[in-house]
Amino acid sequence: MGAPRIVPTRGIPFPAGDPSLEPAEERAWRQRLLERALEAVSTAVHAPTLFEVK
Amino acid sequence: MARIVHYLNQFFIGAGGEDAAAQPPSSQAGAVGPGRRLAQLLGDEHEIVATVSCGDDDAAGRPEAIAEIVALIAEHQPDLVVAGPAFTSGRYGLACARVAAGAKAAGLGAVAAMHPDNPGLDEAGGAPVVASGEAARLMGPALDTLSAAVKKLLAGEVLTDADGLVGLAPRRPRMAERTAAERAVDLALTRLGGDRDATEVPLPRFDRVTPAPPIEDLRDATLAILTEGALVPDGNPGALESARATKWLRYSLEGRDELKPGEWRSVHGGFSTVWANEDPHRILPLDAARRLERDGAIGRLYQEYLVTAGNGTSVANARRFGVEWAADLRHSGARAAILTAT
Confidence of residue B138 (pLDDT cuts 50, 70, 90): very high
Which residues of B are less than 8 Å from A19 in CB distance?
275, 278-279, 282
pLDDT on residue B206: 65
Q: Which residues contact B319 (CB under 8 A, 6 or more apart)?
A: B90, B119, B207
Contact check, Cβ <8 Å, B273/A31: no
pLDDT on residue B297: 96
pLDDT average, residue stretch B96-110:
96
pLDDT surpasses 70 at B256: yes
* DSSP summary character for residue B195: -
B286 has a chain A CB within 8 A of its CB? no
Closest A-chain CA to B222: A38
Which residues of A are less than 8 Å from B213 in CB distance?
44
pLDDT on residue A28: 97
Contact residues, chain A to chain B, C-beta under 8 Å: 1-5, 11-17, 19, 26-27, 30-31, 33-35, 37-38, 41-47
pLDDT averages per 10-residue partition of chain A, 54 residues:
88 95 97 97 94 92
Q: Which residues contact B71 (CB under 8 A, 6 or more apart)?
A: none
Asked if B92 and B86 count as a contact pair (C-beta separation under 8 A), the reply is yes
Confidence of residue B246 (pLDDT cuts 50, 70, 90): very high
Mean pLDDT, all residues of chain B: 93
pLDDT on residue B319: 86
Element (H, E) at B278: helix B274-278
Confidence of residue B117 (pLDDT cuts 50, 70, 90): confident
pLDDT on residue B181: 96
pLDDT on residue B261: 97
Report d(CA B214, CA B328) in Å as an integer.
19
- CA A51-B205-B188 angle, to 5 degrees, is 130
User: Between B131 and B207, where is the model more confident?
Assistant: B131
**ipTM, 2 dp:** 0.97
pLDDT over 70, % of chain B: 97
Report d(CA B22, CA B20) in Å as an integer.
6
pLDDT average, residue stretch B233-245:
96
Report d(CA B211, CA B13) in Å as an integer.
29
* Distance (Å) of CA B25 to CA A47, B67, B250: 37, 10, 24
Contact check, Cβ <8 Å, B288/A34: yes
pLDDT average, residue stretch B309-323:
89
Which amino acid is it at B36?
R
Count of A–B CB contacts within 8 Å? 90
Mutation site for A-interface testing, chosen from B208, B225, B295, B340 by largest number of A Cβ within 10 Å: B340
Confidence of residue B245 (pLDDT cuts 50, 70, 90): very high
pLDDT average, residue stretch B258-280:
96
Q: What are the tens digits of pLDDT across the range B175-232? A: 989 999 999 999 999 999 998 888 887 766 666 778 999 999 999 999 999 999 999 9
pLDDT on residue B199: 83
Select from B52, B48, B54, B10 the least CA-distant residue to B27: B52
Confidence of residue B332 (pLDDT cuts 50, 70, 90): confident
pLDDT on residue B204: 63
pLDDT on residue A3: 87
How far apart are the CA of B329 and the nearest CA of chain A, in angstroms? Answer: 15
How far apart are the CA of B229 and the nearest CA of chain A, in angstroms? Answer: 8
Contact check, Cβ <8 Å, A4/B209: yes
Contact check, Cβ <8 Å, A34/B338: yes
Q: What are the tens digits of pLDDT across the range B159-190? A: 988 999 998 656 668 898 999 999 999 999 99
pLDDT on residue B196: 84
pLDDT on residue B168: 66
Q: Is B117 exposed, middle or buried (0-12, 13-18, 19+ CB in 10 A)?
A: middle
Element (H, E) at B288: helix B286-294
pLDDT average, residue stretch B249-258:
97
Going along chain B from its start, the domains and CATH numbers come out as: 2-163 (3.40.50.2300), 218-340 (no CATH)
Which residues of B are less than 8 Å from A20 in CB distance?
none
